[in-house]
A and B are shown apart, each in its own frame.
Chain A
Amino acid sequence: MRGEGANPPVVCLGFDIHYPCYLNPGFRPDMVKGKRNPKDSYFNPEMKEGLGRVIDRSFRPATEILIDLLDGGFKCAFSISGVMVEHLERWYPETLELISRAATHQNAEVLAETYYHSVAGQFTDLEEFVDELLMHRDLMKEHFSAVPTTFAHTDYPITPATAEALAGAGIEAAIIEGGGPPAPERDPNHTYTYRGLPVLVTHCDLADDIAVRFPWREWDRWPLMADRYAKWLAVSPGDCITLFLDYRIFGDVVGPETGILEFLHALPAALAGEGITTVHPSEAARIIPPRGDIGETGEPGGPQRTILQQSALEALEEAGGLVADRAIWRCLLETDHIRRMAMRSASCGKPHHAVSHQATYDYFTSFMQILSHAEERSAASTRSPKAALSLRCVPPDKAFSFSSYDRPAGYAAHSLQELTNMLEFTPDDVIRYHVEREDFYHWIDQVIGDTKLAEKIRGVDDRSKLRSTIQNRIDRLWKRLR
């Protein structure tokens, strides 16, 4: 709590305008038979209608309110994904027109992000990340005549590599998510630098008051009114509160009947009543002196991924060289897919969908089925279809599950590459068990379909020999494709 007479912090409010490309949860390979474009089977075929509903419930009314508020001197920022602009342009041009009025308003700032709202920043090779960043910049210039300089880095933790890539691409500041490393554990309400790049840290609790708890009648603070919320902000210690919210919260995820739109409408006046000013993120990063560098804390990188997320991300990066249709691959890069493979209690301003572990596993299964199918389909058009098939990933029901005599080891390989990676640490008795039953041989021969490699490793029980044989084969197969 701050003392009497201290200045209240400034507030940076950002909205993430995006509509994810949802997977088709009922996807089965036989649905694609005879179709020229499998995209409709992979992804939600009713995307246009779904987006239409979100526009009616949320994007249109919220934007109309915001334009009003911007006229009144309120400042906020928008992060609009490239695919979002594409979809609006194709299906709902009048909505694009409306959003464009808000985004080009003198009191609004347009933020930088990845074109496909993608996980590419988590890959070892950041080529796709930088490509998308530049594509997005060009699009923003074209549509909103703005060159964004602040990057919304809120879907996964910032790393030294992404910070460097951002700085190299002319980004001057980033918004990162609070509530876990590298963000400071306490005191999110300051500006910091991450390896020299100025960063703003979102306040997860205050964001979730709106995104998660607002409609919840059992909450002891329900109903939340704008003036009470403004009071909370006013007494938060620090210089600058950053809130970055999914735009769909306003009217779609949290329905209009809860009064969320009225809340949004009343917020600027309530903030002004508490003496709080709103600023653009780029402005906050420029004028508020950073409190310190958080890039060298040595915290091992951020909220931990789950095993499923790791398998999916690895397969996804490999798939960049295997899926012929870029559009399909890029739809699979969507951050929402990876997010749904784990449960999390804090959502930091995103729609909350922690359901059950079964649901996260099912989502992973659908994801891998689609990715695997896309790779199989693309194989025929590559230079070496056989090599492409050997390198593909397989869905969980065909994965190689490690086990020992008496118990499962707790992980499964979905591709040859993942198999060698896991052979690094799997215990000796597990390897012995599988070699005795010739499991490696059978899986490589019958599931992966690489007879030559299968023969080579048949009977090999030495860990490093197994690994080097498979790795050499993988390297050779990749060479054949290039």
Chain B
Amino acid sequence: METFKIAFFCWESLHSSFKVGGLAPAATHLAEHLARRGHEVHFFTRGEPGDADINGVHYHYCRPYGDNIVEYCRTMSNMLVDAFRACDTPAFDILHFHDWHLVEAMHILRDRNTILSYHSTEYGRHGGNFGGWWEFKEISGKEWYGGYIAKAVTTVSNSTKTEVMWLYNVPEWKVTVIPNGIDPDAYYARVDPGEVKKRYGIHPLAPVVLFVGRLTYQKGPDLLLQAVPRILATRWDVQFLFAGTGDMRGYLEGMAHGLPVQFLGYISDREHVQLLNACDLVAIPSRNEPFGLVLTEAWSAERCVVATDVGGLSENIDNYMNGIKVPVRPDSIAWGICHLIDDPAYMQSLGKAGRRKVMEKFRWAVVTERTLGVYRKVLSGGP
């Protein structure tokens, strides 16, 4: 099998000191899985200057500066293009860009075999709203331009595909949907749910609903919180845990006064896995979700989900087979949770069906193979 020399451009990775969002694990794991198959992968990103080889991937770091996010990304692009040129002999086969931050580097290298992956859009990150401020317009412009010059485009779901086709006029032939991958075993652990619940002061037999994610408008924690009293009206012993933090936290804590809700703030990976495997149900009340990694994480732990019928969640959940999809409304979320919470056996069977789907469609082996398919298509020169 032929091997490729691949350059990744992504402004964050798991192996640098910069604050990590959802993009970092997606790009890092993909790079590592490509390297594991014998491809030569160079990862151009931010970090303490210097190079490093980690898990088979060659990292090239830079330290950008700038007065605002757009300026900052411009210096980062220039620095990374320099780093790229330094190791461009023999020439790279594939240049894979992740999100808009390095579109200026892509502009400089636009004659090469470039691929742009949209992990989300600026519109989507604002909960499906247009912003009138200049950064919004600048970033949207870069997202448009990236899609225009790239030889191929990938999105994490069909809804993001439709979104970029609608927002940026990217032609359909250019776009391939490749979901985010996951390592299911990293999220599955055999724990005694009762013991884990006790650690949070919760009765070992109380049903626990878990929310994982940033406490921001996009993720809809406020919708779940508004659903809580409605759920308690029919089932008094349900407890709610919110893991993660964000700009809505203060507001949510005020709203949760007197309710069986705990805000755990940032939690470690280990705690995350324990909670996933101990909770009874995972709620995903997002207003916009390009993919929804929380979904495949919950499924990996054989948990069932109640999720809003948006974006990647809408596409990937088979209603009543491996989860329940509800409209983006507190009363609908409450209905979904009440529908499941009384029936532990049913919840277990939905969770197990979810895990089967992960093994089938979202494992890294599957996702890496599909990414390579896009690379081959670009290299063969045709759509």
Contacts and interface: CB of A to CB of B under 8 A. Distances in A.
Interface of A: 179-181, 185, 298, 300, 303-307, 309-310, 342-346, 354, 356-357, 361, 406-411, 422, 424-427, 430
A280 B236 CA distance: 44
Interface string B321-336: 0000000000000000
B239 interface: yes
Contacts of A306: 205, 237
A410 B202 contact: yes
B90 interface: no
Contacts of A309: 205
A177 to B, nearest CB: 10
B201 A425 contact: yes
B234 interface: yes
Nearest to B346: A345
A307 B346 CA distance: 19
B343 A185 contact: no
25 contacts: A179-B345, A180-B345, A181-B348, A185-B352, A304-B344, A307-B206, A307-B237, A309-B205, A310-B205, A342-B342, A345-B342, A346-B346, A357-B235, A357-B236, A406-B257, A406-B258, A410-B203, A410-B237, A410-B239, A410-B260, A425-B198, A425-B199, A425-B204, A426-B201, A427-B201
B349 interface: yes
B192 A300 contact: yes
Contacts of A422: 203
Interface string B174-208: 00000000000000001011000111111111110
A309 B205 CA distance: 10
B206 A185 contact: no
Contacts of B190: 298
B259 interface: yes
Given A357-B234, A406-B258, A407-B258, A430 B201 contact: yes
A410 B206 contact: yes
Given A407-B260, A408-B260, A410-B237, A307 B203 contact: yes
Given A304-B280, A343-B342, A344-B342, 9 more contacts: A303-B344, A304-B207, A305-B205, A307-B206, A310-B205, A346-B343, A356-B234, A411-B203, A411-B206
A427 B262 CA distance: 12
Contacts of A427: 200-201
The 6 A-B pairs with the shortest beta carbon distances in the complex, nearest first, are A427-B201, A425-B198, A180-B345, A411-B203, A343-B342, A304-B344
Nearest to B277: A300
Interface of B: 190, 192-193, 197-207, 234-237, 239, 257-260, 280, 342-346, 348-349, 352
A426 B197 CA distance: 10
A291 to B, nearest CB: 18
Given A354-B342, A357-B235, A357-B236, A304 B198 contact: no
A346 B342 CA distance: 11
A307 B348 contact: no
Given A180-B345, A345-B342, A345-B346, A411 B352 contact: no
Nearest to B239: A410
A408 B236 CA distance: 11
Nearest to A345: B343
A316 to B, nearest CB: 16
A307 B205 contact: yes
Contacts of B352: 185
A424 B342 contact: no
B344 A425 contact: no
Nearest to A422: B203
A411 B260 CA distance: 11
Contacts of B207: 304
B343 A344 contact: yes
A425 B352 CA distance: 29
B249 to A, nearest CB: 17
A270 to B, nearest CB: 30
B348 A425 contact: no
Nearest to A424: B198
Contacts of B197: 425
Given A357-B235, A357-B236, A409 B201 contact: yes
A304 B238 CA distance: 14
B160 to A, nearest CB: 33
Contacts of A344: 342-343, 345
Given A357-B235, A407-B258, A410-B260, A180 B348 contact: yes
Tell which of A310, A411, A422 has the most Cβ of chain B within 10 Å: A411
Nearest to B201: A427
A180 B206 contact: no
B349 A185 contact: yes
B356 to A, nearest CB: 10
B230 to A, nearest CB: 13
Contacts of B200: 427
Contacts of B203: 307, 409-411, 422, 425
A427 B344 CA distance: 26
A342 B237 CA distance: 12
Contacts of B204: 425
A306 B204 CA distance: 10
Nearest to B200: A427
Nearest to B260: A410
Given A185-B352, A346-B343, A346-B345, A425 B202 contact: yes
A303 B237 contact: no
Contact of A411 (B199, B237, B280, B349): B237
A356 B342 CA distance: 10
Contact of B193 (A181, A300, A430): A300
Contacts of B260: 407-408, 410
Contacts of B239: 410
Q: Which of B259, B280, B344, B346 has the most CB of A within 10 A?
A: B344
Nearest to B349: A185
A411 B198 CA distance: 12
Given A307-B237, A357-B234, A180 B258 contact: no
B206 to A, nearest CB: 6
* Most chain A Cβ neighbours within 10 Å, of B197, B235, B343, B346: B343
A296 B237 CA distance: 31
Given A343-B342, A345-B342, A357-B234, A304 B349 contact: no
